[in-house]
Structure formats: C-alpha cells, structure tokens
Amino acid sequence: MNGNQSATDLTTVLAGDHRELDRLCTELELGQGSPENRKDLADHLIAELVRHSVAEEPYLDGDGDLAEADRLMRQLEGAGPQETRFERLLGGLIRAVRRHVREEGPAAVREIGRTCSADRQAELGREVLETREAAPTLPHPDLADRVPQADQLWPGPGFVDRARAALRAPASG
C-alpha cells in the first residue's frame, strides 16, 4: 500500500473486511455464549461475509474459499443452533473464512493493486461503501409483496441470496 491510499480505497476496504472476518471467527472459536447467541454471531459473520464476497468476487477465480464458504453459509442458514450439524457447519465455515483471509483474499487485494489505478481503486472503494450503506433499505424483488421491508434482510433461509441481491442492486441517489 502506498501512503496516498484513502480509507475508501478498495484494497483498504477489503483488507479491513479481512480483519473483521478474522475477528468474528476468533469470537466464534472461543465457543462462548448460549446456542442462540452463537447463532446470532454466526448470522453476523454470514452477513459480513456476503457483503465482502460481493465486493471481492470479481477479482477471484470463483472456485476457492469464498465458493466453499458460500456453500456452507447456505447450509448453515437452515440449521438451528441446537442441531448437531450447526457446530459442524459453523466450523467448516470458519475454516473456509480463515483460508480466504490468509491466502485468497490478500492475493485478490494484491491483484487489484496491480491491475487498477489509484483513481480506479478509490472509485471502486466508494462504490462498494455506497452500495453497502444503501443495501439494508433495498427490498428484494421476490419478497417485496410478501414480506415487510424491515424483515427482508433478516437472517434465516434465503438470507444469503437476499443480501446478495440487495448489495448488487444499484445504489439510489
């Protein structure tokens, strides 16, 4: 990183995501809290990972750790915290996230730094942050008529797809 990068530069945003994902994994690995609290924390990890994935996926090959994490997130969103598979799936998700944070993610950040000008990195970073800011208020088109807007990004079955759709929708304003 050079000294001219801003906090909104895409490489800075993604590196910050990696630190937050790593922190959430550490918190989950400590194994503290009730099953319901762990489920809430797992849902938070999933939400952060989806936000991160949407921003970083264009710079990855599609078959790596984020793809594995996506598969596990989809299985985990249907698992209750009391089910035996919950901890098994969560452990797999944490391992995939850790691999991404240590290997795949930094390689993507390096590739962005190598292939994008500083101006383009700043532009992409601003776009990612604007999209993230707008996403919670964007209704998923399949849910708009059936689910109150406040519940459309609530964790649960379909959460990964709803969050991705909201993050990929164009930011308004």
User: Total domain count for the chain?
Assistant: 1
The answer as to whether 44 is a domain residue is: yes
Contact 12, 122 (CB under 8 A): no
User: What are the 10-residue block averages of pLDDT along the chain, 173 residues in total?
Assistant: 65 94 95 88 89 84 85 89 93 96 91 92 90 56 42 50 61 47
Q: Is residue 151 part of a domain?
A: yes
Residue 114 included in any domain: yes
19 in a domain, yes or no? yes
Residue range of the domain that includes 151 = 10-168
Let me know if residue 20 belongs to a domain: yes
Whether residue 1 is contained in a domain is answered as no
- pLDDT at position 95 is 96
Q: What pLDDT is attached to residue 11?
A: 93
